[in-house]
Chain A
Amino acid sequence: MNGRTLPLMLTLPSAVIFIATFVLPFIYFFVISFWVVDYFELTPAATLVNYREMADRYVGVSVFTLWLSTVTALATVIIGFLYAFIARFKLPGFADLMIFVVLITMFGGYLMKIYAWKTILGNEGVLNSALMAVGIITEPVSALLYSPGAVVVTLLHFGLPFAVLPIYASMRGIKDIELEAARDLGATSLEIFTTVIVPRCRAGIVTAFSFAFLITAGDYITPLLVGGKQTLIGNLIAPQFGMQFNWPLGSAMSFVMLAISVATIFVFSRLMARWCRI
């Protein structure tokens, strides 16, 4: 056996799993977006009817999903960046503890986090009852739950660990001596921030944005539990594979959603690249 055969053999099981449960399912899944459902039977075809239906009926929900995902992703990146920034530069003595908290919450359960926010924001929930007990408000504020804001807060909470970790990892690569060099050359704190720190974190920021965006764009549980009447595109996709039984339409919706996500992430990463070239 030569030098490369053994390493490649070792990766074989992973590659087989990847092809069998990712590549092949996605090829099949893409193909059925051009099929139709005829009398509750999945029927092969070569039609764009599902994409046309998407364009005719679901532009509104797609735009709303794009908007809400962008807001969530930006909020997650900004707060995640702030947290990583404090841990790395402002309170380095607490950095290990701060990152530990993030790692713990990362494993704190997807469904349970959303449910926790439902119990926090509800009419008889933790926040309202606590505020009433203290006497700040006399009647429950019902606008807390079932609003786009509640969806953003919940997904921000879920996505934050996934934003802090890659940004913090990039920040750890910045050496103090680089910052001192910039200062010696006459840069102000703000200049150091915008021309050294942010550009050096570009990869981490783009990863964080991508994660947060995709988490929101593909979510359907959060809008169901804490969102209002306004749903996300995921809430239309999921039923196509259950009650509504229209896989081709669900597939077309999924690929439109993925295309929107990839395009947005691309735009964001170009904007970051432009910022960093100053």
Chain B
Amino acid sequence: MKGVSQIAWMALAVLIVVFLLAPIVLLVMFAFTSRGIANFPIESLSFRWWDEMVNHPQFAISFKNSMIVGLSVGAVSAIVGTMAAIGLIALPRKLASTYMNVLILPIMLPGLVLAVALLSFFVSLGMRLGLWTVIISHVLFTQPFVILIVHARMANFDYRVVESARDLGASPVKAFFTVTLPIIRPIVIGAALIAMALSIDDFIITSFTIGSGNTLPTLVWGMIRTGLTPSVNAIGTLILILTIGSSLIALKLTRYRG
């Protein structure tokens, strides 16, 4: 009896795992097939959609823009978010928890509402839309993730090592750079990679705040709207490699488990 119910639970778990993974696996799979449409039976494997992707006139600039935005957002969010997390940990618990709940509000809001609010604000200030406005907007919704991740690690940080350094005559700044930072560095890099992955993946906020340029997701959107071009699968796979790749490294670095 126990065996039967165990098998039933296993079957259910497998079903949900398949549901979660199938769309992503199929997307990647059809980036390497020869036919124009994503369906079965598969005729033969091919790289033609990758050729087409690379030769797309907008591809190089969109890729470059995605990289500029992703790397800047990762760096800025990691620095600002880490500072905030370290500050929060030193504040009284109640104040820190309220403060943190306020700072992470942006991730609860639908992207569309954030996007149009930012767009109208930028325009009203007379700011020219471009990569700058995208980077600023992305920092807003990625810094909460950095704060949450780094704060969780700092919560069980052994402060005695910092105190020892201070006792031995290190200034607070020197103690931070020679003791605290080396210890939390993997977490900070992990958090930066998560911020970068979220930024590279973002479509809605980017599409409203970029003005006329393109990043990879907005390029894909243009292609989807103008008809099913299979190199969408190739670009999609490229975005997946970038986002899942960096988050995999991040998961390894932060040892984050739920």
Q: Which of A's residues lie within 8 Å of B, judged by CB?
A: 3-4, 6-11, 13-15, 17-18, 21-22, 24-26, 28-29, 32, 79, 82-83, 86-87, 90-91, 94, 96, 98-113, 115-120, 124-126, 128-130, 133, 157, 160-161, 165, 168-169, 172, 210-211, 214-215, 217-221, 225, 234, 237-238, 240-241, 247, 250-251, 254, 257-258
Contacts and interface: CB of A to CB of B under 8 A. Distances in A.
Contacts of B257: 96, 99
Contact of B108 (A87, A110, A210): A210
5 contacts: A4-B91, A110-B201, A172-B258, A214-B109, A247-B116
A111 B204 CA distance: 9
A108 B244 CA distance: 6
Contacts of A215: 110
Given A22-B106, A116-B26, A251 B40 contact: no
A115 B27 contact: yes
Contacts, number: 241
B87 A10 contact: yes
B154 to A, nearest CB: 12
Contacts of A91: 6, 9-10, 13
A111 B120 contact: no
Given A21-B137, A219-B112, 15 more contacts: A13-B80, A22-B106, A94-B13, A101-B20, A104-B247, A107-B247, A109-B24, A112-B24, A117-B23, A124-B37, A129-B39, A220-B112, A225-B224, A241-B119, A247-B116
Nearest to A9: B87
Contacts of B118: 21, 25
Given A133-B41, A215-B110, A218-B113, A14 B81 contact: yes
Contacts of A220: 112
B190 interface: no
Interface stretch (B49-57, B58-66, B160-168, B235-243): B235-243
Interface string B146-177: 01000000000000000000000000100000
Contacts of A237: 112-113, 116
Nearest to B37: A124
B84 interface: yes
A119 B237 CA distance: 14
Interface string B108-128: 111111001111110010000
A258 B111 CA distance: 12
B87 A28 contact: no
Name the prevailing secondary structure of the A interface residues. Answer: helix
Contacts of A104: 21, 244, 247-248
A14 B244 contact: no
Contacts of A240: 116
A165 B108 contact: no
Contact of A169 (B137, B228, B258): B258
A234 B39 contact: no
A218 B121 contact: no
Contact of B240 (A6, A15, A79, A109): A109
B84 A13 contact: yes
**Chain B interface mostly:** helix
B181 interface: no
Interface in B208-258: 208, 217, 220-221, 224, 228, 232, 236, 239-240, 243-244, 247-248, 251, 256-258
Contacts of B119: 241
Interface centre among A6, A115, A161, A211 (most CB of B within 10 A): A115
Nearest to A238: B112
A18 B103 CA distance: 7
A157 B202 CA distance: 17
A79 B221 CA distance: 30
A28 B110 contact: no
Contacts of A100: 251
Nearest to A115: B224
Closest 3 CB pairs of A and B: A218-B110, A10-B87, A25-B121
B110 A219 contact: yes
Contact of A99 (B38, B239, B244, B258): B258
A11 B84 contact: yes
B67 interface: no
Contact of B24 (A22, A98, A113): A113
A171 to B, nearest CB: 9
Which of the listed residues A7, A113, A169 has the most CB atoms from chain B within 10 Å of its own CB?
Answer: A7
A4 B90 CA distance: 8
B110 A108 contact: no
B4 to A, nearest CB: 13
Contacts of A8: 87, 91
Contacts of B30: 119
B86 interface: yes
